[in-house]
């Protein structure tokens, strides 16, 4: 069964699509990634792995625009996959 990764974003669909591709390349066939754009300007770029908030622009994480931010997501996904 694929691990659920959910991204809620505001007006930055391109950032979501880039992250989705990068995660799919890192974990081919192992993730179920869905994105949800907010209907209004919210400032969101929130990433949840298996229902747990891992990255939050609203809480100061910004976008997933550096290798260290991406690796934080990779680590969370690996941990969730290991738990089954």
**pLDDT at position 58:** 93
Q: Which CATH superfamily is 3-83 part of?
A: Glutaredoxin (3.40.30.10)
Residue 74 to residue 59: CA distance in whole angstroms: 19
Domain ranges of the chain: 3-83
Kindly tell me the burial class for residue 64, based on how many C-beta atoms sit within 10 Å of its own C-beta (0-12, 13-18, 19 or more): buried
Q: 1 pLDDT band (50/70/90 cuts)?
A: confident
Give pLDDT tens digits for 33-69.
999 999 888 889 999 999 999 999 999 999 999 999 9
């Amino acid at each position: 069964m694929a691990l659920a990764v959910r991204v809620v974003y505001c007006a930055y669909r391109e950032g979501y699509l880039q992250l989705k591709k990068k995660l799919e390349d890192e974990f081919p066939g192992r993730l179920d990634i869905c994105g949800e754009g907010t209907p209004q300007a919210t400032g969101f770029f929130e990433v949840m792995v298996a229902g747990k908030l891992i990255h939050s622009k609203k809480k100061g994480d910004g976008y997933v625009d550096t290798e260290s931010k991406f690796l934080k997501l990779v680590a969370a996904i690996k941990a969730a996959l290991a738990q089954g």
